[in-house]
Structure 1
Protein backbone atom coordinates (compact mmCIF):
# COMPACT_ATOMS: atom_id res chain seq x y z
CA UNK A 1 0.00 0.00 0.00
CA UNK A 2 1.53 3.29 -1.05
CA UNK A 3 1.24 6.45 1.03
CA UNK A 4 0.34 9.78 -0.54
CA UNK A 5 1.82 12.91 0.99
CA UNK A 6 0.83 16.48 0.32
CA UNK A 7 3.65 18.28 -1.45
CA UNK A 8 3.89 21.99 -0.61
CA UNK A 9 2.99 24.25 -3.53
CA UNK A 10 5.02 27.43 -3.85
CA UNK A 11 2.63 30.32 -4.52
CA UNK A 12 5.22 33.09 -4.58
CA UNK A 13 8.94 33.44 -4.02
CA UNK A 14 10.68 36.80 -3.68
CA UNK A 15 14.03 38.27 -2.80
CA UNK A 16 13.34 40.77 -0.04
CA UNK A 17 15.54 43.24 1.82
CA UNK A 18 16.49 40.51 4.30
CA UNK A 19 16.73 37.52 1.99
CA UNK A 20 14.33 35.11 0.34
CA UNK A 21 10.70 34.89 1.45
CA UNK A 22 8.33 32.21 0.19
CA UNK A 23 4.59 31.78 0.45
CA UNK A 24 3.41 28.25 -0.09
CA UNK A 25 0.28 26.15 0.30
CA UNK A 26 0.53 22.82 2.09
CA UNK A 27 -2.80 21.03 2.08
CA UNK A 28 -5.25 23.55 3.50
CA UNK A 29 -2.57 25.69 5.12
CA UNK A 30 -0.68 28.76 3.94
CA UNK A 31 2.92 28.96 5.14
CA UNK A 32 5.59 31.66 5.21
CA UNK A 33 9.21 30.56 4.84
CA UNK A 34 12.14 32.96 5.26
CA UNK A 35 15.60 32.01 4.01
CA UNK A 36 14.59 28.36 4.10
CA UNK A 37 13.34 28.52 7.70
CA UNK A 38 9.68 27.89 8.51
CA UNK A 39 8.21 30.94 10.27
CA UNK A 40 4.45 30.46 10.57
CA UNK A 41 1.31 29.07 9.01
CA UNK A 42 -2.46 29.42 9.21
CA UNK A 43 -3.01 26.25 11.26
CA UNK A 44 -3.95 27.74 14.62
CA UNK A 45 -3.35 31.31 15.77
CA UNK A 46 -4.50 30.95 19.37
CA UNK A 47 -1.19 32.17 20.80
CA UNK A 48 -1.08 35.18 18.45
CA UNK A 49 -4.61 36.10 19.49
CA UNK A 50 -3.74 35.61 23.14
CA UNK A 51 -0.81 37.97 22.69
CA UNK A 52 -3.27 40.76 21.93
CA UNK A 53 -5.77 39.80 24.63
CA UNK A 54 -3.08 39.52 27.30
CA UNK A 55 -1.83 43.02 26.49
CA UNK A 56 -5.34 44.46 26.76
CA UNK A 57 -6.01 42.64 30.04
CA UNK A 58 -2.76 44.00 31.48
CA UNK A 59 -3.78 47.50 30.41
CA UNK A 60 -7.16 47.08 32.09
CA UNK A 61 -5.43 45.95 35.29
CA UNK A 62 -3.46 49.21 35.26
CA UNK A 63 -6.60 51.38 35.18
CA UNK A 64 -9.19 52.65 32.74
CA UNK A 65 -7.70 53.61 29.38
CA UNK A 66 -10.19 54.60 26.66
CA UNK A 67 -9.42 53.67 23.04
CA UNK A 68 -5.83 52.43 23.56
CA UNK A 69 -3.44 52.31 20.61
CA UNK A 70 -1.58 49.04 20.02
CA UNK A 71 1.58 48.48 18.01
CA UNK A 72 1.82 44.97 16.56
CA UNK A 73 5.33 43.97 15.60
CA UNK A 74 5.12 41.54 12.71
CA UNK A 75 2.20 41.03 10.30
CA UNK A 76 2.83 37.34 9.65
CA UNK A 77 -0.31 35.54 8.49
CA UNK A 78 -2.43 38.22 10.17
CA UNK A 79 -3.79 36.49 13.27
CA UNK A 80 -2.85 39.30 15.69
CA UNK A 81 -4.09 42.04 13.37
CA UNK A 82 -7.46 40.43 12.65
CA UNK A 83 -8.02 39.69 16.34
CA UNK A 84 -7.22 43.26 17.35
CA UNK A 85 -9.46 44.67 14.62
CA UNK A 86 -12.33 42.47 15.80
CA UNK A 87 -12.23 44.21 19.19
CA UNK A 88 -13.79 47.67 19.26
CA UNK A 89 -11.81 48.50 22.40
CA UNK A 90 -8.68 49.28 20.42
CA UNK A 91 -8.65 52.87 19.24
CA UNK A 92 -5.68 52.44 16.91
CA UNK A 93 -3.82 49.46 15.43
CA UNK A 94 -0.39 49.98 13.90
CA UNK A 95 1.37 46.98 12.36
CA UNK A 96 5.10 47.13 11.59
CA UNK A 97 6.26 44.60 8.98
CA UNK A 98 9.66 44.65 7.33
CA UNK A 99 8.96 42.34 4.35
CA UNK A 100 7.17 44.12 1.47
CA UNK A 101 6.23 40.71 0.05
CA UNK A 102 4.27 39.82 3.19
CA UNK A 103 2.38 43.11 3.05
CA UNK A 104 1.63 42.57 -0.63
CA UNK A 105 0.35 39.01 -0.02
CA UNK A 106 -2.15 40.50 2.41
CA UNK A 107 -3.20 43.41 0.25
CA UNK A 108 -3.39 41.69 -3.13
CA UNK A 109 -2.36 38.08 -2.73
CA UNK A 110 -3.42 34.75 -1.23
CA UNK A 111 -3.47 36.07 2.36
CA UNK A 112 -5.92 38.87 1.53
CA UNK A 113 -8.91 36.66 2.32
CA UNK A 114 -7.73 36.46 5.93
CA UNK A 115 -7.14 40.17 6.59
CA UNK A 116 -9.20 42.13 4.06
CA UNK A 117 -11.65 43.47 6.65
CA UNK A 118 -8.91 44.28 9.16
CA UNK A 119 -6.85 46.17 6.57
CA UNK A 120 -9.93 48.15 5.55
CA UNK A 121 -10.59 49.13 9.17
CA UNK A 122 -9.89 52.88 9.56
CA UNK A 123 -8.03 52.15 12.81
CA UNK A 124 -5.44 50.04 10.99
CA UNK A 125 -2.13 51.41 9.74
CA UNK A 126 0.56 49.29 8.10
CA UNK A 127 4.16 50.52 8.38
CA UNK A 128 6.81 48.89 6.20
CA UNK A 129 9.87 48.99 8.43
CA UNK A 130 12.26 46.83 10.41
CA UNK A 131 10.86 46.81 13.94
CA UNK A 132 14.34 46.84 15.49
CA UNK A 133 14.98 50.18 13.76
CA UNK A 134 11.45 51.51 14.12
CA UNK A 135 11.48 51.39 17.93
CA UNK A 136 14.62 53.51 17.93
CA UNK A 137 13.53 56.05 15.31
CA UNK A 138 9.80 56.69 15.70
CA UNK A 139 8.39 59.57 17.71
CA UNK A 140 5.04 57.82 18.12
CA UNK A 141 3.89 56.42 21.45
CA UNK A 142 1.55 53.53 22.19
CA UNK A 143 -0.46 52.05 25.01
CA UNK A 144 0.63 48.51 24.17
CA UNK A 145 3.37 46.79 22.19
CA UNK A 146 2.59 43.27 20.95
CA UNK A 147 5.83 41.88 19.54
CA UNK A 148 5.98 38.70 17.47
CA UNK A 149 8.83 38.92 14.98
CA UNK A 150 10.71 35.72 15.69
CA UNK A 151 10.58 32.47 17.67
CA UNK A 152 11.25 34.41 20.85
CA UNK A 153 13.96 36.17 22.86
CA UNK A 154 16.07 33.05 23.29
CA UNK A 155 15.47 31.52 19.86
CA UNK A 156 15.92 34.05 17.10
CA UNK A 157 16.15 32.81 13.52
CA UNK A 158 16.52 36.21 11.87
CA UNK A 159 19.85 38.00 12.09
CA UNK A 160 19.59 41.26 13.97
CA UNK A 161 16.34 40.51 15.82
CA UNK A 162 18.21 39.72 19.02
CA UNK A 163 18.89 43.46 19.40
CA UNK A 164 15.19 44.00 20.20
CA UNK A 165 15.50 41.80 23.29
CA UNK A 166 18.81 43.28 24.41
CA UNK A 167 18.94 46.05 27.06
CA UNK A 168 19.07 48.87 24.47
CA UNK A 169 16.12 47.41 22.54
CA UNK A 170 13.99 47.04 25.66
CA UNK A 171 14.86 50.58 26.72
CA UNK A 172 13.67 51.77 23.29
CA UNK A 173 10.44 49.80 23.72
CA UNK A 174 9.86 51.41 27.11
CA UNK A 175 10.33 54.83 25.50
CA UNK A 176 7.54 54.07 23.01
CA UNK A 177 5.05 53.31 25.76
CA UNK A 178 2.72 55.85 27.27
CA UNK A 179 2.88 55.92 31.09
CA UNK A 180 1.76 52.57 32.44
CA UNK A 181 1.72 50.99 29.00
CA UNK A 182 2.27 47.29 28.40
CA UNK A 183 4.76 45.25 26.40
CA UNK A 184 3.75 41.72 25.39
CA UNK A 185 6.33 39.49 23.69
CA UNK A 186 5.44 36.17 22.03
CA UNK A 187 7.85 33.28 22.45
CA UNK A 188 7.92 29.62 21.50
CA UNK A 189 9.34 28.78 24.94
CA UNK A 190 9.73 30.42 28.36
CA UNK A 191 12.80 32.50 29.12
CA UNK A 192 13.53 33.39 32.77
CA UNK A 193 16.53 35.33 31.49
CA UNK A 194 14.26 37.54 29.39
CA UNK A 195 12.00 38.16 32.39
CA UNK A 196 15.04 39.44 34.24
CA UNK A 197 16.00 41.60 31.24
CA UNK A 198 12.53 43.18 31.33
CA UNK A 199 12.91 43.99 35.02
CA UNK A 200 16.37 45.43 34.47
CA UNK A 201 14.93 47.68 31.74
CA UNK A 202 12.46 49.15 34.25
CA UNK A 203 9.37 47.08 33.47
CA UNK A 204 7.14 46.20 36.40
CA UNK A 205 4.70 43.38 37.12
CA UNK A 206 6.72 41.13 34.80
CA UNK A 207 5.17 37.71 34.26
CA UNK A 208 4.94 34.90 31.72
CA UNK A 209 1.65 33.43 30.55
CA UNK A 210 1.52 29.99 28.92
CA UNK A 211 -0.69 29.22 25.90
CA UNK A 212 -1.40 25.52 25.23
CA UNK A 213 -0.79 24.39 21.66
CA UNK A 214 -1.92 21.30 19.77
CA UNK A 215 1.46 19.58 20.04
CA UNK A 216 4.62 20.11 22.06
CA UNK A 217 5.43 22.57 24.83
CA UNK A 218 3.16 25.60 25.31
CA UNK A 219 3.88 28.92 23.63
CA UNK A 220 4.23 31.84 26.04
CA UNK A 221 3.62 35.57 26.26
CA UNK A 222 6.07 37.62 28.33
CA UNK A 223 4.38 40.67 29.84
CA UNK A 224 5.65 43.81 31.51
CA UNK A 225 4.21 47.18 32.51
CA UNK A 226 6.27 50.23 31.63
CA UNK A 227 7.28 52.91 34.10
CA UNK A 228 4.83 55.60 35.04
Structure 2
Protein backbone atom coordinates (compact mmCIF):
# COMPACT_ATOMS: atom_id res chain seq x y z
CA UNK A 1 0.00 0.00 0.00
CA UNK A 2 1.21 3.50 -0.79
CA UNK A 3 2.41 5.62 2.12
CA UNK A 4 1.26 9.09 3.07
CA UNK A 5 3.58 11.86 1.95
CA UNK A 6 3.66 15.37 3.37
CA UNK A 7 2.71 17.87 0.65
CA UNK A 8 2.20 20.99 2.74
CA UNK A 9 2.73 22.61 6.15
CA UNK A 10 0.93 25.55 7.77
CA UNK A 11 1.67 27.41 11.00
CA UNK A 12 -1.09 27.64 13.61
CA UNK A 13 -1.27 31.33 14.65
CA UNK A 14 -0.30 31.90 18.27
CA UNK A 15 0.48 28.25 18.87
CA UNK A 16 4.06 27.82 17.71
CA UNK A 17 3.24 24.52 16.02
CA UNK A 18 2.09 23.53 12.57
CA UNK A 19 -0.42 21.52 10.63
CA UNK A 20 0.69 19.08 7.98
CA UNK A 21 -1.22 18.06 4.86
CA UNK A 22 -0.49 14.52 3.71
CA UNK A 23 -1.57 12.67 0.58
CA UNK A 24 -1.81 9.00 -0.35
CA UNK A 25 -3.21 8.47 -3.84
CA UNK A 26 -6.54 10.38 -3.75
CA UNK A 27 -6.76 10.37 0.08
CA UNK A 28 -5.73 13.37 2.19
CA UNK A 29 -5.00 13.70 5.89
CA UNK A 30 -4.40 16.73 8.13
CA UNK A 31 -2.30 16.21 11.26
CA UNK A 32 -0.62 18.26 13.95
CA UNK A 33 3.15 18.01 13.62
CA UNK A 34 4.71 16.01 16.43
CA UNK A 35 1.48 14.41 17.68
CA UNK A 36 0.06 10.94 16.95
CA UNK A 37 -3.09 10.38 14.95
CA UNK A 38 -4.84 12.74 12.59
CA UNK A 39 -7.29 15.61 12.85
CA UNK A 40 -9.12 14.98 9.58
CA UNK A 41 -9.21 12.53 6.71
CA UNK A 42 -11.07 12.81 3.41
CA UNK A 43 -12.47 9.29 3.86
CA UNK A 44 -14.21 10.22 7.10
CA UNK A 45 -16.50 13.22 6.70
CA UNK A 46 -19.98 11.89 7.41
CA UNK A 47 -20.35 13.89 10.61
CA UNK A 48 -19.00 17.06 8.97
CA UNK A 49 -21.67 16.68 6.28
CA UNK A 50 -24.32 16.09 8.95
CA UNK A 51 -23.36 19.26 10.80
CA UNK A 52 -24.39 21.36 7.81
CA UNK A 53 -27.37 19.23 6.82
CA UNK A 54 -28.92 19.36 10.30
CA UNK A 55 -28.43 23.10 10.66
CA UNK A 56 -29.29 24.22 7.14
CA UNK A 57 -32.51 22.25 6.84
CA UNK A 58 -33.94 24.59 9.48
CA UNK A 59 -33.19 27.73 7.45
CA UNK A 60 -33.00 26.58 3.82
CA UNK A 61 -36.43 28.00 2.94
CA UNK A 62 -35.57 31.51 4.08
CA UNK A 63 -34.95 34.06 1.34
CA UNK A 64 -31.30 35.09 1.13
CA UNK A 65 -30.32 32.80 3.99
CA UNK A 66 -26.93 33.73 5.45
CA UNK A 67 -25.01 31.13 7.42
CA UNK A 68 -21.56 30.80 8.92
CA UNK A 69 -19.21 27.83 9.01
CA UNK A 70 -16.62 28.16 11.75
CA UNK A 71 -13.61 26.10 10.66
CA UNK A 72 -12.96 25.28 7.01
CA UNK A 73 -11.11 22.03 7.58
CA UNK A 74 -11.28 19.93 4.44
CA UNK A 75 -14.27 21.82 3.08
CA UNK A 76 -16.93 19.16 3.60
CA UNK A 77 -19.17 21.15 5.96
CA UNK A 78 -18.99 24.12 3.60
CA UNK A 79 -19.84 21.91 0.62
CA UNK A 80 -22.80 20.34 2.43
CA UNK A 81 -24.12 23.77 3.43
CA UNK A 82 -23.93 25.01 -0.16
CA UNK A 83 -25.77 21.90 -1.34
CA UNK A 84 -28.54 22.40 1.22
CA UNK A 85 -29.12 26.11 0.53
CA UNK A 86 -30.64 28.03 -2.34
CA UNK A 87 -29.03 30.07 -5.09
CA UNK A 88 -29.54 33.34 -3.19
CA UNK A 89 -27.82 32.15 0.00
CA UNK A 90 -24.47 33.28 1.36
CA UNK A 91 -22.09 31.04 3.31
CA UNK A 92 -19.35 32.77 5.27
CA UNK A 93 -16.55 30.41 6.24
CA UNK A 94 -14.10 31.48 8.95
CA UNK A 95 -10.68 29.82 9.07
CA UNK A 96 -7.86 30.79 11.40
CA UNK A 97 -5.00 29.17 9.46
CA UNK A 98 -4.33 30.83 6.08
CA UNK A 99 -2.52 27.72 4.86
CA UNK A 100 -5.68 25.64 5.24
CA UNK A 101 -7.51 28.05 2.92
CA UNK A 102 -4.72 27.71 0.36
CA UNK A 103 -4.82 23.90 0.58
CA UNK A 104 -8.56 24.01 -0.13
CA UNK A 105 -7.92 26.24 -3.13
CA UNK A 106 -5.22 23.85 -4.28
CA UNK A 107 -4.74 20.07 -4.12
CA UNK A 108 -7.24 19.42 -1.30
CA UNK A 109 -10.12 21.25 -2.94
CA UNK A 110 -11.20 18.48 -5.30
CA UNK A 111 -12.02 16.15 -2.37
CA UNK A 112 -15.06 18.25 -1.38
CA UNK A 113 -15.87 19.50 -4.88
CA UNK A 114 -14.04 22.84 -4.66
CA UNK A 115 -16.64 24.66 -2.51
CA UNK A 116 -14.45 27.77 -2.22
CA UNK A 117 -15.07 28.35 -5.93
CA UNK A 118 -18.84 28.62 -5.39
CA UNK A 119 -19.95 32.27 -5.83
CA UNK A 120 -22.08 32.00 -2.67
CA UNK A 121 -18.96 31.42 -0.53
CA UNK A 122 -17.26 34.22 1.39
CA UNK A 123 -13.96 33.51 3.18
CA UNK A 124 -12.96 35.23 6.43
CA UNK A 125 -9.38 34.44 7.42
CA UNK A 126 -9.03 34.95 11.15
CA UNK A 127 -10.47 34.02 14.52
CA UNK A 128 -14.05 32.71 14.53
CA UNK A 129 -14.78 34.56 17.75
CA UNK A 130 -13.84 37.89 16.22
CA UNK A 131 -16.24 37.30 13.33
CA UNK A 132 -19.06 36.47 15.75
CA UNK A 133 -18.40 39.64 17.73
CA UNK A 134 -18.46 41.75 14.56
CA UNK A 135 -21.78 40.41 13.29
CA UNK A 136 -24.61 40.61 15.86
CA UNK A 137 -27.79 39.37 14.23
CA UNK A 138 -25.80 38.41 11.14
CA UNK A 139 -26.61 34.75 10.56
CA UNK A 140 -29.56 32.41 10.21
CA UNK A 141 -27.34 29.47 11.19
CA UNK A 142 -23.91 29.15 12.75
CA UNK A 143 -22.01 25.87 12.41
CA UNK A 144 -18.96 25.44 14.61
CA UNK A 145 -16.43 22.72 13.83
CA UNK A 146 -13.43 24.23 15.55
CA UNK A 147 -10.72 22.10 17.09
CA UNK A 148 -11.93 18.86 18.70
CA UNK A 149 -15.19 20.32 19.97
CA UNK A 150 -15.63 21.71 23.50
CA UNK A 151 -12.42 19.94 24.52
CA UNK A 152 -9.76 21.90 22.63
CA UNK A 153 -6.82 20.08 21.10
CA UNK A 154 -4.90 22.39 18.81
CA UNK A 155 -5.34 25.82 20.38
CA UNK A 156 -6.20 26.82 23.96
CA UNK A 157 -7.81 30.07 22.74
CA UNK A 158 -10.56 27.95 21.17
CA UNK A 159 -11.91 27.30 24.67
CA UNK A 160 -13.51 30.78 24.63
CA UNK A 161 -15.93 29.72 21.91
CA UNK A 162 -17.38 27.05 24.18
CA UNK A 163 -17.45 29.21 27.32
CA UNK A 164 -20.66 30.90 28.53
CA UNK A 165 -19.36 34.20 27.11
CA UNK A 166 -18.55 32.65 23.74
CA UNK A 167 -21.89 30.88 23.51
CA UNK A 168 -23.72 34.10 24.43
CA UNK A 169 -21.81 35.88 21.65
CA UNK A 170 -22.81 33.17 19.17
CA UNK A 171 -26.42 33.46 20.30
CA UNK A 172 -26.31 37.22 19.72
CA UNK A 173 -24.91 36.65 16.23
CA UNK A 174 -28.02 34.67 15.27
CA UNK A 175 -31.04 36.15 13.53
CA UNK A 176 -34.49 35.46 15.02
CA UNK A 177 -35.23 31.71 15.07
CA UNK A 178 -31.66 30.97 14.07
CA UNK A 179 -29.78 27.81 14.99
CA UNK A 180 -26.35 27.18 16.47
CA UNK A 181 -24.88 23.80 15.54
CA UNK A 182 -21.71 22.53 17.23
CA UNK A 183 -19.63 19.50 16.23
CA UNK A 184 -17.69 17.42 18.74
CA UNK A 185 -15.68 14.22 18.69
CA UNK A 186 -17.72 12.98 21.64
CA UNK A 187 -20.52 13.63 24.12
CA UNK A 188 -20.12 16.33 26.76
CA UNK A 189 -23.02 16.66 29.24
CA UNK A 190 -21.39 19.70 30.86
CA UNK A 191 -21.43 21.52 27.52
CA UNK A 192 -25.09 20.64 27.02
CA UNK A 193 -25.84 22.26 30.36
CA UNK A 194 -23.74 25.30 29.42
CA UNK A 195 -25.86 25.81 26.31
CA UNK A 196 -29.02 25.65 28.38
CA UNK A 197 -27.69 28.13 30.91
CA UNK A 198 -27.31 30.83 28.25
CA UNK A 199 -30.99 30.37 27.42
CA UNK A 200 -30.87 27.99 24.46
CA UNK A 201 -33.07 24.98 23.79
CA UNK A 202 -30.78 22.04 23.04
CA UNK A 203 -31.02 18.89 20.95
CA UNK A 204 -28.15 16.40 20.83
CA UNK A 205 -27.68 14.20 17.76
CA UNK A 206 -25.24 11.30 17.42
CA UNK A 207 -23.82 10.87 13.92
CA UNK A 208 -21.24 8.57 12.38
CA UNK A 209 -17.89 9.62 10.94
CA UNK A 210 -18.40 7.40 7.93
CA UNK A 211 -21.57 6.72 5.98
CA UNK A 212 -23.74 4.72 5.95
CA UNK A 213 -23.63 4.05 9.68
CA UNK A 214 -19.93 3.35 10.00
CA UNK A 215 -17.00 4.84 11.84
CA UNK A 216 -16.70 6.62 15.17
CA UNK A 217 -19.73 8.20 16.82
CA UNK A 218 -19.55 11.97 16.91
CA UNK A 219 -21.89 14.47 18.52
CA UNK A 220 -23.73 17.49 17.14
CA UNK A 221 -25.59 19.95 19.33
CA UNK A 222 -28.45 21.93 17.80
CA UNK A 223 -29.31 24.96 19.92
CA UNK A 224 -31.93 27.62 19.21
| Contact 1:189/1:217 (<8 A) preserved | no
Question: Partner residue of 1:219?
Answer: 218
Give 2:146's aligned residue.
149
| CA contact 1:106–1:116 (8 Å) conserved in 2 | no
* Distance of 2:114 and 2:215 partners within structure 1: 32
Residue 135 (structure 1) shift: 2.0
1:158 and 1:15 mapped to 2: Cα distance?
A: 12
- Partner residue of 1:171? 168
Q: Which residue of 2 aligns with 1:10?
A: 6
SS state of the match for residue 54, structure 1? helix
CA RMSD of aligned residues (A): 2.2
Corresponding residue to 2:98 among 91, 97, 100: 100
Provide structure 1 residue ranges, at least 5 long, that are not aligned to the other structure.
none
Aligned to 1:183, the other structure's residue is in SS state: strand
Please tell me whether the aligned partners of residues 109 and 115 of structure 2 are also in contact (alpha carbons under 8 angstroms).
Answer: no
- 1:4-39 CA deviation, whole Å, 9 max, x = no partner? x64320101233424312111145421112343421
1:1-228 to 2 correspondences below 5 Å: 6-17=2-13, 18=15, 19-37=17-35, 38-59=38-59, 65-89=62-86, 91-107=89-105, 109-115=106-112, 117-139=114-136, 141-204=138-201, 206-214=202-210, 217-225=216-224
Structure-1 separation of matches of 2:220 and 2:10: 31
Separation in 1 of the partners of 2:3 and 2:111? Answer: 23
Kindly tell me: are residues 14 and 44 of structure 1, through their superposed partners in 2, closer, same or farther at Cα, counting changes over 3 Å?
Answer: closer
- Does the CA-based 8 Å contact 2:141-2:181 persist in structure 1? yes
Q: TM-score with structure 1 length normalisation?
A: 0.85
User: CA–CA distance in 2 between the matches of 1:155 and 1:121?
Assistant: 30
Q: Structure 1 runs of 4+ off > 4 angstroms?
A: 214-217
Report if aligned partners of 2:42, 2:111 keep a CA contact under 8 Å in 1.
no
Cα distance, 1:142–1:197 mapped onto 2, change above 3 Å: same
**Using the alignment, how far apart are the partners of 1:14 and 1:88 within structure 2?**
31
Shift in Å, 1:216? 5.6
Tell me how far apart the structure 2 counterparts of residues 101 and 155 of structure 1 sit (CA, whole Å): 20
Please give the per-residue CA displacement for 1:84-131, whole angstroms capped at 9, x wherever unaligned: 222343711000001010111112x21132356422222110110111
SS of aligned partner of 1:154: coil
Structure with bigger gyration radius: 1
Task: Specify whether residues 139 and 180 from structure 1 end up closer, same or farther in structure 2 by C-alpha distance, changes over 3 A only.
Answer: closer
